[in-house]
Structure 1
Amino acid sequence: MPVPATPDPYADPLAFGQRLRILRTRRGVTRDQLGGLVARGGAWVKALETGRLGIPRFDLVLRLAEVLRVRDLTELTGDPSVPVPLFAGPGHPRLAAVRAAVDRLTFAGDREAPPTAQLTARLERAWAARHASAHHREVIGARLPELIHDAQLTVRQAASAVERRAAQSALSESYSLAQFFLAYQPDAALLWRVAERGLVAAQESEHPHTIGVAAWLSAQAHRDAGPPHSDAADAVTTATLSYLEPLLPDASPDLIAITGALTFEAGHTAARRTDTGTAWRSWDRAREIASRLPEGYFHPVTSFGRAVMAAHAVTLAVELRQGGEAVRQSAASDATPIPSRPRTARHRIEEARGYHLDGQPDVALAVLERAHERAPETIAYNGYAKAIVLEEAQSKHAARRRRASTLAVTLGLLAA
């Protein structure tokens, strides 16, 4: 039997350092990059990988798992007693139906397609339902299979070039909705299929706003794939902003908002690279764009608007590992509520990360409890939240350990 060139990190008996090296190499991350992202250095990572240092503290193990985006702590530790899914949970009950809808071949004669206007109205209702629901994946997962199929039919049966472009726009938006459902689900290949199809349909639509939304989601997919893909994320945002910015003088609020969302996205990617100057300059530019929007405006896909800029500042500070700045920005962000349950919950998770970085774990747990109250499905699939809860469930402080353990049981991370 041939011996594989690269060992399998899931096969025993591999030491922690060997697993770390294999997973880091597969991610395309250098030792210096990985060390910098966990506030250590390349020499520290090398010492772990070569066995000169043993397994680090649990919080550092979680941070390494977070950066490498491993599916389960067992992949990194080799210890089957801690099989904790971090960035990919067990999968939502509606995942199989959504996957089948994406993979299904649709032909023009399946049945009569609905008018594009009807699809657009259904999509508007779906986005509104998502923002209003504590169980947003359930809400959109129930709608997606039929929406995707109907949008594909409408494209196939379009009678003119104009109708086809409008139908492509609705199809692209259906894929955009699917990407929100697929975030943190255990099917990366499906997410990429949806992202690519959405971008192709958007380009076929020739509709600037649709192209902007698809590009925004594509950039996020690249950014979240890890440091080797940050250049691809930048390429998407840079090219799309070059296309959209000349249109701004006469743009609708939706087009202004997607331009602002993409501008912030460039800053978010820069923060992941710890490029502080670019990150905050992008945030300043996005804030200026947000100021052009009507008071109370809220973009239905990206959540961009004046209300979200303070939350974006928290995110940048957290990604830059600036705990004190994240806490300061958190205090400012509470002055303007975000009109979306899942977006508010995600903001709470970012706040919790900031408090945790700042050495305030009790506040971080309290904020995560608020996130769970607002939108349980958001926190249940979020790796950053899980990492904080699991770390504090091992705390030496009894009260904190009990509080974190109770939350871990609620999230399904620990048995009751």
Structure 2
Amino acid sequence: MSSDTPPDPYDNPVAFGQRVQIYRTRRGMTREQLAGLLGHHPSWVKKVETGAMRMPRLPEILGIAQALRVRRLNDLVGDLGTAQNTELFLGPGHDQLPAVRAALTAFPAGGDRQAPSQAFLRAALDAAWDARHKAPNHRAVIGALLPGLIRDTQLGVRQAETAAERRNALRLKAETYFLAQFFVAYQPDPALLWRVADRGMNAAQESEDPHAVGVAAWLSAQAHRDSGQYDEADDVVQQALRLLEPRLSDAEVEVRAIVGALRAEAALTAAKRRETGAAWGWWERAERVAEELPDGYFHRVTSFGRPVMGAHGVTVAVELRAGGEAVRQAAGSETVIIPSLPRRARHRIEQARAYQLDGQPDVALATLEQAHAVAPETTRYNGYARAIVLEETASRLPERRQRASRLAVDIGLLAA
């Protein structure tokens, strides 16, 4: 083994700080990047890693685990003789994941059968998106559909006879990968997530369809930002906006919506960096696009539209660590109904983050219970929801601790 290879944390018992450094190095993350994700100075990370400070409190440990995508708490803190060997931020792994992974890794699609018509595939994808937004357990629904869609859209590209047919086939293939990225996100296979994102971008670019390229950029930016790669997230968003914004005045509604969604992504990345002016500036630019969309419009991939802008406002304030503003945004968006059940549940989770940040843990738990009632799988796989629940299971107040423990069982953090 190369001397540059990070050691395995299980080779020998190692201190908490050493484990943090090992996992950070394995993810290719600098101290500055980890500090940015945690809202600390790089010197704080250095003190943690070198043992110059005591092991942080549970909320800080959970933040580190989430930033480093550590699957089990014991992997980070070592064996504390407790029952905390829980699955955390990558999700427990869906039953359909092996079948989806097999379809994604089987290349090229083989067989002599005729690919379904493009009209059939278009209808199948429309039905899949509709099911994703309406099903409380949307991963189970789209996980069952994805293997067939992946094979059929790959076959459709191979059998296209004209340039126009090939471009349309590539659009359908890209959209299938977009759907797959929603399934793969927050599950225990980060490499598969990047493979899906990359293939979606490649198919979109080959299709030469501006809307598909914009959606691929939107998804790629999220993957980069969740990994602490803020420069890369910004770069892909700005490249897509340079392509799409000159066409905005006479663009179709879907292209206008993806421009708004990309601007919202720029706002969230700026908020992660604690750049208050830039974050709200991008949010306002996204809101201007939303206000010009038709009444009731809802983008089926990004969920962008007028109703979702309040949800984005909550997230921007939370990422800026502005508790009071986050709660104000949460209250202001309370009456807005987001059409998609998973997106509505995620908005509830962001509201819960706002209340937790503002020192209202009981309201945060109640809001997470609402999120779980709307879309259980969204709550089960969301790292922020899991972190809040796990933190409150250690509350000093018995009623809050019991409430958090019940929710921890519901979302699969603790055994029943």
1:30: Cα distance to partner? 4.3
Counterpart CA distance in 2 for 1:193 and 1:41 is 32
Asked whether 1:204 is paired with 2:188, we answer no
Alignment of 1:317-328 (within 5 A): 317-328=317-328
1:221: Cα distance to partner? 1.2
- Deviation sequence 1:239-298 (CA, Å, 0-9, x none): 111111111111111111011101111111121222222211110100001111001100
- Deviation sequence 1:330-368 (CA, Å, 0-9, x none): 001112110011001111111111110110000000000
Relative to structure 1, the CA distance from residue 46 to residue 295 in structure 2 (aligned partners, 3 Å threshold; closer, same or farther) is same
- Deviation sequence 1:64-101 (CA, Å, 0-9, x none): 22222222212210126422222212310000111111
Say whether the 8 Å CA contact 2:217–2:237 is kept in structure 1: yes
Equivalence for 1:190: 192
Equivalence for 1:151: 153
Counterpart CA distance in 1 for 2:404 and 2:355 is 15
Counterpart CA distance in 2 for 1:128 and 1:272 is 31
Letter in 1 for 2:137: H
Equivalence for 1:373: 373
1:108: Cα distance to partner? 6.8
1:106: Cα distance to partner? 3.5
- Deviation sequence 1:132-181 (CA, Å, 0-9, x none): 01000001111111111111111111110000000000000000000000
- The range that moved more, 73-82 or 194-203, is 73-82
Asked whether 1:102 is paired with 2:118, we answer no
Equivalence for 1:393: 393
Asked whether 1:176 is paired with 2:178, we answer yes
Letter in 1 for 2:181: Q
Within the candidate set 89, 92, 111, 1:90 is matched to 92
Counterpart CA distance in 2 for 1:113 and 1:13 is 55
- Deviation sequence 1:204-236 (CA, Å, 0-9, x none): 11111111111111111111122xx22111111
Equivalence for 1:116: 118
Equivalence for 2:79: 79
Counterpart CA distance in 2 for 1:88 and 1:152 is 28
Letter in 2 for 1:411: I
Relative to structure 1, the CA distance from residue 189 to residue 258 in structure 2 (aligned partners, 3 Å threshold; closer, same or farther) is same
1:105: Cα distance to partner? 2.5
Name the SS of the counterpart of 1:354 in structure 2: helix
Counterpart CA distance in 1 for 2:206 and 2:45 is 46
Name the SS of the counterpart of 2:71 in structure 1: coil
Letter in 1 for 2:404: A
Counterpart CA distance in 2 for 1:86 and 1:6 is 23
1:415: Cα distance to partner? 2.1
Counterpart CA distance in 2 for 1:86 and 1:144 is 25
Equivalence for 2:49: 49
Letter in 2 for 1:404: A
Letter in 1 for 2:172: A
Relative to structure 1, the CA distance from residue 46 to residue 26 in structure 2 (aligned partners, 3 Å threshold; closer, same or farther) is same
Counterpart CA distance in 1 for 2:103 and 2:29 is 34
Say whether the 8 Å CA contact 2:92–2:381 is kept in structure 1: no
Counterpart CA distance in 2 for 1:108 and 1:183 is 27
**What TM-score results when the alignment is normalised by the length of structure 2?**
0.95
Counterpart CA distance in 1 for 2:219 and 2:384 is 20
- Deviation sequence 1:178-219 (CA, Å, 0-9, x none): 000001011111111111111111111111111111111111
Name the SS of the counterpart of 1:395 in structure 2: coil
Counterpart CA distance in 2 for 1:245 and 1:2 is 47
Name the SS of the counterpart of 2:70 in structure 1: coil
**What TM-score results when the alignment is normalised by the length of structure 1?**
0.95
1:36: Cα distance to partner? 5.2
Letter in 2 for 1:132: K
Say whether the 8 Å CA contact 2:88–2:413 is kept in structure 1: no
Counterpart CA distance in 2 for 1:270 and 1:4 is 33
Equivalence for 2:354: 354
Equivalence for 2:291: 291
- The range that moved more, 8-17 or 335-344, is 8-17
Equivalence for 1:63: 63
Equivalence for 2:258: 258
Counterpart CA distance in 1 for 2:227 and 2:85 is 22
Counterpart CA distance in 2 for 1:31 and 1:141 is 36
Alignment of 1:191-340 (within 5 A): 191-226=193-228, 229-340=229-340
Name the SS of the counterpart of 2:157 in structure 1: helix
Say whether the 8 Å CA contact 1:12–1:78 is kept in structure 2: no
Counterpart CA distance in 2 for 1:97 and 1:114 is 21
Counterpart CA distance in 2 for 1:390 and 1:177 is 30
Counterpart CA distance in 2 for 1:404 and 1:171 is 42
- The range that moved more, 134-143 or 57-66, is 57-66
Say whether the 8 Å CA contact 1:38–1:63 is kept in structure 2: yes
1:26: Cα distance to partner? 3.4
- The range that moved more, 127-136 or 116-125, is 116-125
Counterpart CA distance in 1 for 2:291 and 2:31 is 41
Say whether the 8 Å CA contact 1:86–1:382 is kept in structure 2: no
1:10: Cα distance to partner? 3.5
Root-mean-square deviation (Å): 1.7
Q: 5+ unaligned residues in a row in structure 2: which ranges? A: none
Counterpart CA distance in 1 for 2:150 and 2:339 is 26
Name the SS of the counterpart of 2:303 in structure 1: coil
Letter in 2 for 1:371: A
Relative to structure 1, the CA distance from residue 106 to residue 3 in structure 2 (aligned partners, 3 Å threshold; closer, same or farther) is closer
Say whether the 8 Å CA contact 1:101–1:145 is kept in structure 2: yes
1:20: Cα distance to partner? 1.8
- The range that moved more, 72-81 or 202-211, is 72-81
Asked whether 1:125 is paired with 2:127, we answer yes
